Structure 1
Amino acid sequence: MSTKQGVKLLKKIRLLEPTMPTRATGVFKGEASGFLNWNDILYEKFYDVYTQVLNNFWKPSQVSMVQDKKQWGELDKNIQDKFLEILTMLSGLDSLQTPTLIEILKFIKDPAVKAILANFAQQESIHNESYSYVNSSLIPLERQKELFKKIQSHPQVIKRNKPIVDAYQRFVDEPTPQHLFEALIHSTNLEGIYFYLAFAFYYNLGRQQLMTGTATMISYIHRDEMVHFDFIATLVQILMYEYPELNTEENVQFIYDTIGKAVELEKEWSEEMLGDIEEKADIDLDEFHDYIEYLANKRLRMFGLDNLYEDYKENPMPWIKTFDDESINLTKTDFFEQKSRTYAQVSTSNGFDEL
């Protein structure tokens, strides 16, 4: 590990270290040749994750937008506006992920983890393409540019994104184990908390048989993100194992505080987006707020921590259960057009039974 004015930094990997073992002795620390032999890896779960990522592969062009185009003009103007603003916001969030994952890759010793994160980065690019694909199907380029300009300067968007952007930039500027830990927790918030108003909004349209192409695409993105944040939680646990000095009460509190703050910001965002059209959008925001707390508890349990909020015995947003984490995770199915697109199913042996 190198130093910068007395601060211990993670050491950037060399592309190959032929004298080192093929099987990595650590993910962030240890030795590794850089050669990848999937039959000789540090943790078997890594291959399960890699296989799941490949099985989940999809392209935006596979989803028909014909019906969405027909229905677009029939939507209420306020619903149209929120549809586009939320979609553009998603594009902004996912734009952060590809370059950040590439930065993290520079410090990963284990070639299996490098392969997984490289695929995650590619998936995030596909997500961005999908938002552009939807926009290009519905509105002209000039309107798209206006939306991006609006979102880039929107006070609530800036407030919401600032903790994540700051954490990512701290890691890029000073790649210490602590800053990596903080960036990974914020990544969990981005993919495991921040996207869920958007998911609920588009799923709500889909269950009314409206904009089903968009809702189908969102279900694919949803499932990708579940694999991402589950694996990121695994990396956090490995990081804390390899750097035991990270195992502090302060860092446990950091997880609680950061996830709690993300929940409050997602609630604020929901009020900003839908507060004045809650009835028209047919979403109960109080119910949604309970749902976000329910999800936050699940994210905390991924880190082996106790619930922060009321222990919801059932999903507090019953209608979304058809499209929630457990249902999306079972199979690649078009929920809205009812066309089977089944790939390999996830099982408890893959470690995704508690998403």
Structure 2
Amino acid sequence: MSKVLLEKAKTLEPRFPNKSTGLFGGKSSGILNWNDIAYPHWYKMYKRLVGNYWQADEVNMGSDVKQFPTLSEAEQDAYLKIIGLLSTLDGPQTRIALLISLYATDPSVQSIMAVIAQQEAVHNESYSYVLSSVVSLDEQNKSFNFGRKDPVLLKRNARIMEHYNNFAKEPTIENILKTMVYTALLEGLFFYSGFAFFYNLARSNKMVGTSTMISYINRDELEHGRFISELFRATLAENPELNNPEFIEWVYDQFRTSVELETEWSEYVLKDIKGIDLEEMAGYVKYRANKMLRMMGLSEIYPEYVNNPMKWIRAYVDNFDGTKTDFFEQKSRQYTKTSDLNGFDDL
């Protein structure tokens, strides 16, 4: 496989055409005309991403402030640990999106990654926002330090750190592709046991503000996963020497290992949570892996989990997969904005 280091894309190079000759390592003037791009359907992806604009402090957390002390000890512990997990996963995503854009020689990719980076920054802000609503600063800091200290979470995140850091140190096409694989795993698999926890609370009418926030993050991640999968397929097509059995088997290995680690994590953090069947959760993780592999143009590796085995979660996820409407915007749980930080005027 090629070890040629890529140069960062030039900001403006009038000698080159506006339509890029390649996603990475190509030639482009740096001028973006959305009506003249190499992959025209990516304009629709850009518009969907922009259409998802939201801000953390628009979600009213008033009822969550009252409800958090009434949660069981296991639910409170899982709440704080899972927020710690999500912040650990989303933390690098703003930077990695910007890093990919620095080496992208297609200006449409640069623009889409800029939107993704901005949304990841909002996700990070939202974790601080929800924690500041329900616990003290000391508890907030413990939650955010969880990702640096917990051995199960450190084991789970080790490969993400390895491949993201490899890309930063050695920006080759191969390492960009490997980074895309782990970004797809993040966006499409690693978040989902955490999402399931908050949706499980919501179906008991608990912590609906937090779950509303999670639903908006989830909707963003679905779009991010779609684009990264498309970018992976297009980059692999432009670099056919990397589209070989060795690399494809590497991808499958990462998915298998990631499913094992996600299952181990979910058993660790959700074991005492009423309403969540861990066997069902393990099947759901495999279902998500299959779905991401299909989006990346690859074959399923868990043929017994082609369909979603966690039927109850469909109301929270499938209902807004590909649309702007989600469960929490229905009348039964009306999404409300608040002009006062965290909705404390509702107390």
Task: Tell me which interval the TM-score lies in, with the shorter structure as reference length.
Answer: over 0.9
Identify unmatched segments of 5+ residues in structure 2. 337-347
SS of residue matched to 1:71: helix
TM-score norm. by structure 2 comes to 0.92
- The 5 Å alignment of 1:194-233 reads 194-233=190-229
Tell me how far apart the structure 2 counterparts of residues 168 and 326 of structure 1 sit (CA, whole Å): 32
Match in the other structure for 1:98 = 94
Given candidates 106, 115, 118, the residue that maps to 1:119 is 115
1:107 matched residue in structure 2: 103
Structure 1 residue 49: Cα displacement = 0.8
In structure 1, the partner of 2:333 is 338
Q: How does 1:36-185 map to 2 (within 5 A)?
A: 36-185=32-181
Letter paired with 2:47 = T
Establish whether residue 300 from structure 1 lines up as the match of residue 296 from structure 2. no
Aligned residue identity for 1:85? K
Query: How many pairs were matched up?
Result: 333
- Is the 2:5–2:171 contact (alpha carbons within 8 Å) kept by the matching residues of 1? yes
Partner of 1:244: 240
- TM-score, scaled to structure 1: 0.90
- Cα distance between partner residues in 2 of 1:314 and 1:249: 27
- For the residues of structure 2 that align with 1:170 and 1:151, how far apart are their CA atoms? 20
Contact 2:316 2:326 in 1 (8 A): no
Letter in 1 for 2:286: E
Higher mean displacement: 150-159 or 55-64: 150-159
* 8 Å CA contact retained: 1:226, 1:325: no
C-alpha spacing 1:35/1:137, structure 2 compared with 1 (3 Å):
same
CA contact (8 A) 2:46 2:112 kept: yes
Q: In 2, Cα distance between the equivalents of 1:157 and 1:109? A: 35
Q: State the distance in 1 between where 2:306 and 2:31 align.
A: 46
The answer to whether the Cα contact below 8 Å between 1:189 and 1:259 also exists between their aligned partners in 2 is: yes
AA at the equivalent of 1:285: L
For residue 8 of structure 1, give the secondary structure of its aligned residue in structure 2: coil
Q: Distance in 2 between matches of 1:71 and 1:146?
A: 20
Contact kept in structure 2, 1:101 and 1:117, CA below 8 Å: yes
Question: CA shift at 1:138, angstroms?
Answer: 0.5
Helix, strand or coil: the match of 2:153?
helix
- Residue number in structure 1 paired with 2:188: 192
Partner amino acid, structure 2, of 1:229: G
Identity %: 42
Seen in structure 2, the aligned counterparts of structure 1 residues 326 and 25 have a Cα distance that, compared at 3 Å, is farther
Q: Counterpart of 1:26?
A: 22
> Structure 2 counterpart of 1:219, which letter?
S
Please report the RMSD computed on the Cα atoms of aligned residues, expressed in angstroms: 1.6
Confirm or deny: 8 A CA contact 2:287 2:306 kept in the other structure: no
What does the per-residue CA deviation read over 1:59-117, in whole Å, with 9 as the maximum and x for residues that have no partner?
A: 01111001111111111122111101101110111001111111111110111110000
The answer to whether the 8 Å contact 1:181/1:236 transfers is yes
SS in 1 for 2:37: coil
Question: 1:334·1:340 contact (CA, 8 Å) conserved in 2?
Answer: no
Deviations 1:147-185 (A, max 9, x none): 223331110111000101100000110111111111110
C-alpha distance in 1, partners of 2:100/2:306?
A: 36
Q: CA deviation at 1:334?
A: 5.0
What residue ranges of structure 1 are gaps of 5+ in the alignment? 1-5, 342-355
Pair 1:38–1:193, CA change in 2 (3 A): same
| Letter aligned with residue 66 of structure 1 | G
Contact map agreement 1:36 1:111 (CA 8 A) in 2:
yes
Say if 2:9 is the partner of 1:13: yes
1:313 Cα shift? Answer: 5.1
- The one-letter amino acid paired with 1:102 is L
Q: SS in structure 1 opposite 2:103?
A: coil
Higher relative contact order (CA 8 A, sep 6+): 2
Paired amino acid for 1:307? E
Distance 1:93 1:313, change over 3 A: closer
Mapped to 2, the partners of 1:110 and 1:120 lie a distance apart of 16
Query: Equivalent residue of 1:106, what SS?
Result: helix
Paired letter, 1:296? A
